Structure formats: structure tokens, C-alpha cells
Chains A and B, each alone.
Chain A
């Protein structure tokens, strides 16, 4: 058990589909993050939530829509994606933005997304 659980593990979707990625943590953390990991590229931070409030949108296209209903759950809603959006999407959490980040993040195992 990693502490951060992501579902589904794999997802194949067409460009006209709508799907959602889910992330759940039971660590009592208050900050949650979405990262995009593409082959041979550094991780890209997409969104940051702190105490359910979005604090960062790293110039992410509107076809990606995050949702954080509570501090334990984070969603990434996907619609009309492009093939170049195919990547591993990682969720992470940390105690909060202001403290505990010094100790790194706890990551999930990611959702491997393929857009066809």
C-alpha cells in the first residue's frame, strides 16, 4: 500500500471521449498535485491543491480539468484530448505546502494514458 492510490492504472481513450482519473490518499495530507510524465522529459507539474483550493495551474490546456472535493481526493477530468497528451499521469501529496514539503512528496503509481 503506497498511501496514494491512483485509478485506473491504464486508460485508452479516443479523442472525443470524456474520462476521469482518480487519486486518493489516506495520509492526512493537505496538499495534492498532478504531474505529467512523458518519455525522456522531466516531470511537469500541472496542478496544485492546498486544503482543497487550487493554488497553481501551470498553463495547462483547458481539456484537462482538475477537481478536489476534499483533501483526500483529487480528480483529473479529461475531454477532447490529443495524441500528444499520452503520458503517465502521477498524483502526489504532501502534508501541506508550507511545511513538510522538505521531506518530499508521496506519489501514486500513476495512470498510463493513451489517446488514440
Chain B
């Protein structure tokens, strides 16, 4: 079974600086999808960025980018120019194309604190 590990329960960064959140996963599949979700205090889970395993190019969404290392099974999230609104829980998730319900396997999350 696939697993997702986020080894950093909490991270802090100074406003305007760059921070990287770690995520590793375990799978025997060659094709899959990876996601980063953000959960602010409002509690709504918001999709930040996604990556398809067959694509070698790292996904980028404005200030958010990923470092996808397929061989190492690593999927880290880099947030550039951190803003106060980035403070939230961040969850890494894996989706297998073989799961008939397309369910996500989630990490335990990393709490990101932004220092003004």
C-alpha cells in the first residue's frame, strides 16, 4: 500500500523569504499523481499544486513550485516570497490511477508559520 510521509510537523519562515516543505512517499507504481493542499484556519482544504508522475518538468503555480524527484520518491513544495496569508497546514497527497475510487492518500501535514 502507498504511504505519504511529511517529516516536518511545523516550519516557520520570515515573511518574504523562501521555505521548502518536505514530502516523501512509498509506492511501487510508475504512474500516479501528487498534490499539495493548503488548509488555512478557515478549515477549507485548497489545492495548491499538482504533479503527474510521468511529467519530468516540475509543476509551478505563481510563488509555489515543486521539486519532484521520482527516483527518490520525494515531492517537496517551495514557497517563494512568503506572505502572511500562506500561514496554514500543508498536506501532501498521493493518488493512484489504479484505485477505482481515485481516493487520495494523505500525509499528516506540516504547519507553516509566517513571521512578520
The chain A residues found within 8 Å of chain B, CB to CB, are 2, 33, 40-43, 45, 48, 55-56, 88, 90, 92, 94, 97-98, 101-105, 107-110, 112
Contacts and interface: CB of A to CB of B under 8 A. Distances in A.
Interface residues of B, number: 25
A111 B47 CA distance: 19
B44 A107 contact: yes
Contacts of B37: 104
B108 A41 contact: yes
Nearest to B40: A109
Contacts of A110: 43-44
Interface stretch (B14-22, B72-80, B98-106): B98-106
Contacts of A105: 45, 47, 104
Contacts of A103: 47, 50
